Chain A
């Protein structure tokens, strides 16, 4: 128990206090610890956490498959995807490239023609120039995922070139190289899947707002009016909405906000209809077609909402969160909150 609870707690308290007060102590060693050592410690722990996270995920998914829990079929995909990523990252590099040197005399044009054809380069002269400019070996600007494909291409060059070597990008760097299996997996599976998940939001937002965005009370109305203005104001089409349409929207907005307080519907209808007529007559007389007022421009109203009400709400949230973090951190540092030590 002493090693499981007290020692870790002492470490948390010691490191927490040192990191906190290190900012206020003018000592080279303490500052060095806070700025450099502590961050490196964090990096090391974070690296282990990745392993732990991966193993935990694997364990949970395997248990789900073995026990045939609900939707266990999806877990097969999760484990399969995990195994494929490990294979592509640690066991199969791909990322093969070819370097050539010692081109036989008089065969420069033939070699550049073959390379240009492989690279889909319309002008073989560009390749010829690069071949002439290369002092030592020339690296052909194409990455082959399999050695087999690379060797097929090498055979085409063999009659004209004395030295052809097949190389692979170093381990680690291969992950970011176009033509490696890992890169292929990321671009062709993870990228479209991620984009699809995010794109689905548009459909759900449309459907949910259609069903749930109702003028039920004052707060809901305020949210709805602000939401519509932001949705239109954030996109270029907001600039094209004429002042008279905005004035109708403003009057409907005022009507919607006032609706809970005015019981007689005819009075409400009169206020909204009258307001619209007044706006249109006033706008026509004052020449708003040429220079519409700022308060009837959707992008300007949108800017105002962002600059004032949204900003105030956002700042209030930030201050609240910051105070919460301070309180929680302090409880952890003085040992009152032991949740960080686990069960």
Chain B
């Protein structure tokens, strides 16, 4: 019994460098060898709602895709952007890119250039990237009232009046759907408050895991239609889109989030195990202290 106690005390008082090493391994191994950990992806009802909303759009509909994330949250949000674009392009929906964060410009450029080539989509006809403007919520209110008061040129410097797909677009009421790829402020909440709710435009979101509790009240009220919650949400959406593309007989490169879920799963299990060991040690040492 004493030996077991000693082992638990040892496990519960590990040096933090050893913890870092174990966490590092638990993330690295599944990333390097994803075939070793094959986990089933179960779409949550919220992810399914997002998919159904986009799937119910018609060919030629207009979707506003807002990029509100940067390099730090790229691993979580970018796979969502890629999967959403694949879904929209497969359904021949026109995509209008905006960015509420300066970093969003780079994220949108990367996402559009990656997926547009794969689906053979033409700039200005199938998609346009209008880019970032400073002003946070004011940009959203500007898009809600008159896009041209804010945007005179697109990200490439082309006057927006010269872009074919911008001809009939005045404000947010000309869009059929809004999707916010959000990692904080300004983001999904502001789209609800300043544009989509007042103008009654359907909105869905993909956000980081830590934002989910903040955004869920809007999802429960149907002010946001479904939510892709962090990397699991991205993986779920990827699997739904993959199935849909197979049905449509479209071949596309597989998404990255599904592969990363194995790493996240193992890391979560390792952290839970550490918490359990830490608590067992805490109980044993507390008892000893009381006796002593």
State the A residues within 8 Å of B (CB). 35-36, 38-40, 42-43, 46-47, 50, 170, 172-173, 175-176, 178, 183, 186-187, 190-195, 197-198, 202-203, 205-207, 209-211, 213-215, 224, 227-228, 231-232, 234-237, 239-240, 299, 303, 306-307, 310-311, 313-315, 318
Contacts and interface: CB of A to CB of B under 8 A. Distances in A.
A213 B74 contact: no
A310 B213 CA distance: 7
A46 B264 contact: no
B91 to A, nearest CB: 26
Top 8 nearest A-B pairs by Cβ distance? A194-B71, A236-B39, A237-B265, A191-B71, A194-B72, A42-B138, A198-B72, A173-B157
B95 interface: no
B261 A235 contact: yes
B149 A176 contact: no
Given A209-B274, A306-B212, 8 more contacts: A36-B145, A36-B146, A176-B106, A198-B73, A209-B271, A209-B278, A215-B279, A236-B39
B24 A203 contact: yes
Contacts, number: 173
Given A231-B268, A236-B40, A237-B268, A194 B70 contact: yes
Interface in B262-277: 264-272, 274-275, 277
Residue with the highest number of chain A CB atoms closer than 10 Å, among B23, B103, B214:
B23
Interface residues of B, number: 68
B72 A195 contact: yes
What DSSP secondary structure best describes chain B's contact surface? Answer: helix
A170 B268 CA distance: 47
A231 B278 contact: no
A240 B73 CA distance: 28
A211 B214 CA distance: 27
B278 A211 contact: yes
Residue with the highest number of chain A CB atoms closer than 10 Å, among B20, B268, B270, B278:
B268
A302 B141 CA distance: 36
What DSSP secondary structure best describes chain A's contact surface? Answer: helix
Given A234-B229, A306-B212, A183 B106 contact: yes
20 contacts: A35-B145, A43-B133, A43-B139, A47-B134, A170-B157, A173-B156, A178-B109, A191-B71, A193-B71, A197-B72, A203-B19, A209-B271, A210-B14, A214-B279, A231-B268, A232-B272, A237-B268, A239-B40, A299-B44, A307-B220
A222 to B, nearest CB: 14
Given A42-B138, A50-B134, A214-B278, A206 B261 contact: no
Contacts of A215: 279, 282-283
A292 B20 CA distance: 36
A285 to B, nearest CB: 28
A68 to B, nearest CB: 31
B138 A39 contact: yes
B232 interface: yes
Contacts of B71: 190-195
B232 A235 contact: yes
B237 to A, nearest CB: 14
Nearest to B144: A35
Contacts of A35: 141, 144-146
Contact of B42 (A187, A195, A236): A236
B141 A186 contact: no
B131 interface: yes
A231 to B, nearest CB: 5
Given A232-B269, A234-B230, A210 B19 contact: yes
A206 B138 contact: no
Given A39-B135, A186-B106, A195 B271 contact: no
Contact of A237 (B39, B133, B149): B39
Contacts of B39: 235-237, 239-240
Residue with the highest number of chain B CB atoms closer than 10 Å, among A39, A198, A303:
A39
B150 A191 contact: no
